[in-house]
Each structure stands twice: as C-alpha cells, then as structure tokens.
Amino acid sequence: MRAISPLLVDTPNWLGDLCHTLPAIERLLAAAGHEAVTLLVPPAQQPLARLLASHVVVRPPRAGFAWARRTLARFGVAVAARHSTRAKLLLAGVRADLRLASRGRGAALLGLATFPVDRARHQRHDLDAALARLELPPADDAPTRLPIPDELRRRGEARRRELTPAPRAVALFPASHGMPAKRWPAERFAAVGRAVAARGAGVLVVVGPGEEALGQAVAAATGSRLVAGELTLDEVAALLAACAVAVGNDSGLTHLAAVAGCPTVALFGPTDPARTAPVGGATILRPPTGRPLADLPADEVAAAVLRCQVRP
C-alpha cells in the first residue's frame, strides 16, 4: 500500500450521496488513520463528518480553485468524491502530491489524475478505481454503519422519548429533493402512519429544510410529531438510531436512517435500487414494473413496516 497521509477527501453535496461514499471513506480512514484525514464538506454535513474524521473543513457554496489554493493545507493525496466540473476545479487548486478525480468534465486538462466510474454498479463502488490507485481494496458490500458515540446515542434515545411516549417509534420521511417522481404521495404516508399508530407505535414525521409544509400536512393527518430543522444531522442520526423502523422515499434521510442502524423500508421508483439502495441495508419496495411510485399500495408498505423487527 502506498503512503497516502495526509489525506483530503472532498465529499458529495447531498446527504444520500455522502452515505453512499461511507464505505470508501471507511477504507481511506483505516489506511491513513483518522488523525491524518481531512474531510471537506458542505456546512450542513459538518456535524456528521465530525463523527468520522478528526479534521473537518467546511466547503462554502461555489468554492473553487482560488478558495482551495488560499485555504487548504498541503496533502499527500486529495480525492474528489464529487464528479462535477466545480469539484474538479476545486481539486486543481489543492496542493497535493496526487490529486484523484473521476474522468471527464475537464479533469485531465486540469492536470488531475483520473479514475473511471462504473455507473452500472452501486454508487458505493464509485471510488473503487481511486482506491485501487492507492493500492487499497474496493468498498465493502456489507451494511455500513455510521459511528454514533454512546453519549450522542443516549441523547437520541432521550429525544425520542420526549417526542412520543409510545414504547417504540416509527419515522416517516415523506419528502425528497429534486425528482418529484421519487416522492410517494403524502396521503399514503399518512395512511401508513395511522396503521402503525393503531398497533401502539409513536409516529415521527421527519423532514429537511424547505419541506416543512409537506411534513406538517402528514403530521396533522396522523396526529403525530413533526421534526423539522431543529436538530443537526448528527442529532437526527441519533434520533433515528433510537427508532424502531423508518420508511421513506429514495432520499437523504432514508439513507441516513439505514446507516444509523434503524430498520428501514425504502420506496423506490423511478430510481434504481441496484444503483442507489441504502448502503446501511433496507427492505426495498417498488411498484409493478413500468408503473409510477404512486401506484405502490399503502397497505403493502404498512405491512412491510410492521414486519420489520421492532425494538421495545
């Protein structure tokens, strides 16, 4: 294995993509040592990144070559886990003996060492060729877990008890950024919430910034508590780790629940779980082939949630 310390990893913008990158980050942390790794992250992900590495640098929006050259220290190796042109411009500004970026979008013209990405495989393997350049094994296919410290885990459990007096809680994630077709109808989420509440579970509706109206509608329809924006992402992960089951669209929160160790039901359509299934493991539900996600019946989802192993 070649020497890779100190190491910089420029992480993805989206929460789900960060979760997909965790298996490769685990390889890099094990090889370089936690003290030798710096994660470059968008502001909202800073609390999560601090669970992984000792050194975290917040990447401002639209940061590029000049910001990297002015701000970042020198590294032995710098790896971009993002594939955009802007990410490659930023990497070009990093002072490093080896700068690794995916092929295309001007990477070679910028003087970066490039690696191929096989988009026919699961996204967890996007950095496998970069790992091979560093003489490291590919990302593991085993379920990935986010390291949640005991104290943070206790806070998550206490928050869960504050939000619902029920002996167990089910988290609903009715939102998703971007593609509207990825979003199962809100009234179906409400129906699932009512079904699990009838079995004695507390229901928490969890949404991200800008999704409050949708979350409030589902919470009102189920008589449940809305969790929207008051927690940092590490606190959200700890809360989800304390839940019995989570169910959501192919979204960042669904991926976070899975790596937090919460039994997760993930609803897919039109995205392909072969490419983006949660790396933490999940029960995957899809509508019949060729049908929109809205055609997935609520009773099928509720049954899957109730079948999940629940914890008192």
Asked, for residue 193, whether it belongs to a domain, the answer is yes
Helices vs. strands in the chain: H and E counts, helices first: 12, 12
Give the model's pLDDT for residue 1. 52
Residues 111 and 209 in one domain: no
Q: Which of 12, 177, 179, 7 is nearest to 84 (CA)?
A: 12
Among 141, 139, 120, 142, which residue's Cα sits nearest to residue 129? Answer: 139
CATH code of the domain in which 254 resides? 3.40.50.2000
Report the run of H or E that residue 37 belongs to, with start and end: strand 37-41
115 and 169 co-located in one domain: no
Question: Which one of 82, 102, 133 terminates a domain?
Answer: 133
Q: Are residues 284 and 164 in the same domain?
A: yes
Q: Are residues 170 and 81 in the same domain?
A: no
Q: Evaluate whether residue 142 is within a structural domain.
A: no
Distances (CA, A) of 104 to 111, 180, 276: 12, 28, 22
Q: Residue 228 in 3-state DSSP? A: strand
pLDDT digits (tens, 9 = 90+) for 151-181: 999 999 999 999 999 999 999 999 998 788 9
Q: What average pLDDT does range 73-91 have in this prediction?
A: 97
Under 8 Å between Cβ of 302 and 195: yes
Listed residues 133, 161, 180: the one ending a domain: 133
**What is the DSSP secondary structure assignment for residue 44, as one 8-state letter?**
G
The answer to whether residue 1 sits within a structural domain is no
- pLDDT greater than 50 at residue 311: no
Does a structural domain hold residue 138? no
- Residue 215 in any domain: the answer is yes
Q: Per the domain annotation, does 77 fall within a domain?
A: yes
The per-residue pLDDT for range 61-81, each reduced to its tens digit, is 999 999 999 999 999 999 999
Domain that holds residue 95: 7-133
Measured between alpha carbons, how far is 100 from 77 in angstroms, rounded to an integer? 8
Tokens of 16: 């789900």
Please answer whether residues 229 and 293 qualify as being in contact, where contact means their C-beta atoms are separated by less than 8 angstroms: no
Q: Would you give the end-to-end CA distance of the chain in angstroms?
A: 45
Q: Quick one: 219 and 186 in the same domain?
A: yes
Domains: count for the chain: 2
